[in-house]
């Protein structure tokens, strides 16, 4: 309720000529509008429910992050001090300095970027093409391929790891970035099935008449893919890019298997994080003179560094969620 309407209400209430019944009626109406809203305005109750749900659940997600962040800002003294829980006694960033050097951030960040960015780009592009093929055309054996694609997603990947690794090393893919880019290029990257399914469902929503109209106007398949299908599936491209990026970024098992075990110099932040303790001990050996032991604060600082790039990427990409639809100018259905 705005101040203006509140003052207007006061004027009404101070009016002596008005009978009490009318006043009560007005108040009732105002309160109702305030609580339940009218026309397009949402009422206070609805807003309250929305914000409390968002804040409550957001808090669940934010809590460990805050905990992590706060712990990373605490010096050893603060960590041991039971009276200090949430607010560090001083602005302490030494943990970050140490974690930064232990993680070997610059080369590791470069490695992470390479492993996350290039396969993701290929994976999303190929998934959109394949998804379009499945969604738009009818061809013999389509159901069989589709079924096999989904079944290959269901088989526990752990069991395929060994034969897959042998195949990859026979093909000479291990030990370089191509262990990630080649499968992505052939639509077999990380969780590629789910991306193909996302595009499949998005492309199927585009009405067939739109393609037919384009074909009448002389567009070939490639033109109608880029000019009609792609612009209408921009949200799908954004989520696919995000998921793929995050999943490749967080992948440690395959990275260790394909890259680290065979001597390469590509390392990722997440792998560095896994070896955090050993690296720390070799970099800051504990001597009797300086009791340099790894503590929670340093470990948490390392974790914060490892997820920070993802958060920044997301924060800038999420605004396209809203803008994309407005920009296309085509409306579906």
Distance CA 284, CA 195 (A): 44
3-state secondary structure of 179: helix
Contacting another protein within 314-333 (CB under 8 A): 314-315, 318-319, 321-322, 324-325, 331-333
Contacting another protein within 131-160 (CB under 8 A): 132-134, 136-140, 142, 145, 148-160
CB of 41 to another protein, least distance (A): 11
Distance CA 176, CA 173 (A): 7
Nearest CA-CA partner of 244 in 148, 178, 180, 158: 180
Contacting another protein within 224-243 (CB under 8 A): 232, 235-236, 238-239, 242-243
Closest CB to another protein among residues 76, 239: 239
- Cα Rg for the chain, rounded, in angstroms? 28
When binding is defined by CB under 8 A, the residue of 7, 85, 205, 262 that contacts another protein is 205
**C-alpha dihedral sign at 294, 297, 299, 305:** negative
Closest CB to another protein among residues 23, 136: 136
Contacting another protein within 285-304 (CB under 8 A): 296, 299, 303
Distance CA 71, CA 26 (A): 54
Contacting another protein within 166-185 (CB under 8 A): 167-168, 182-183, 185
Contact range with another protein by CB under 8 A, out of 9-17, 59-67, 81-89, 103-111 = 59-67
| Token digits of residue 42 | 């949402």
When binding is defined by CB under 8 A, the residue of 169, 176, 274, 292 that contacts another protein is 274
| Token digits of residue 298 | 């340093």
């Amino acid at each position: 309720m705005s101040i203006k309407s509140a003052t207007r209400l006061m004027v009404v209430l101070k009016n002596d000529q008005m009978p009490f019944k009318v006043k009560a009626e007005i108040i009732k109406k105002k309160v109702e509008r305030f609580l339940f809203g009218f026309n397009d305005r949402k009422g206070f109750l609805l807003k309250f429910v929305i914000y409390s749900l968002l804040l409550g659940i957001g808090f669940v997600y934010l809590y460990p992050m805050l905990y992590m962040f706060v712990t990373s800002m605490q010096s050893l003294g603060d960590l041991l001090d039971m009276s200090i829980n949430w607010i560090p006694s001083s602005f302490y960033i030494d943990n970050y300095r140490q974690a930064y050097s232990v993680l070997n951030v610059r080369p590791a960040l470069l490695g992470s970027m390479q492993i996350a960015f290039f396969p993701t780009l290929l994976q999303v592009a190929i998934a959109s093409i394949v998804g379009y093929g499945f969604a738009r055309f009818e061809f013999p054996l389509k159901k069989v391929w589709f079924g096999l694609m989904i079944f290959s997603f269901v088989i526990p990947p752990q069991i395929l790891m060994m034969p897959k690794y042998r195949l990859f090393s026979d093909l000479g893919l291990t030990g370089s970035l191509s262990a990630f880019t080649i499968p992505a290029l052939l639509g077999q990257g990380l969780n590629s099935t789910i991306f193909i399914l996302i595009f499949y469902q998005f492309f199927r929503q585009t009405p067939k008449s739109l393609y037919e109209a384009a074909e009448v106007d002389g567009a070939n398949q490639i033109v109608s893919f880029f000019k009609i299908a792609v612009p209408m599936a921009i949200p799908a491209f954004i989520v696919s890019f995000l998921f793929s990026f995050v999943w490749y970024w967080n992948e440690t098992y395959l990275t260790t298997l394909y890259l680290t075990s065979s001597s390469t110099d590509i390392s990722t932040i997440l792998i560095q994080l896994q070896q955090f303790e050993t690296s720390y001990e070799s970099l800051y050996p504990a001597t009797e003179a300086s009791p340099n032991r790894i503590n929670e604060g340093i470990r948490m600082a390392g974790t914060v560094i490892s997820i920070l790039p993802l958060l920044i990427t997301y924060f800038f990409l999420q605004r396209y969620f809203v803008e994309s639809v407005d920009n296309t100018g085509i409306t579906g259905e």
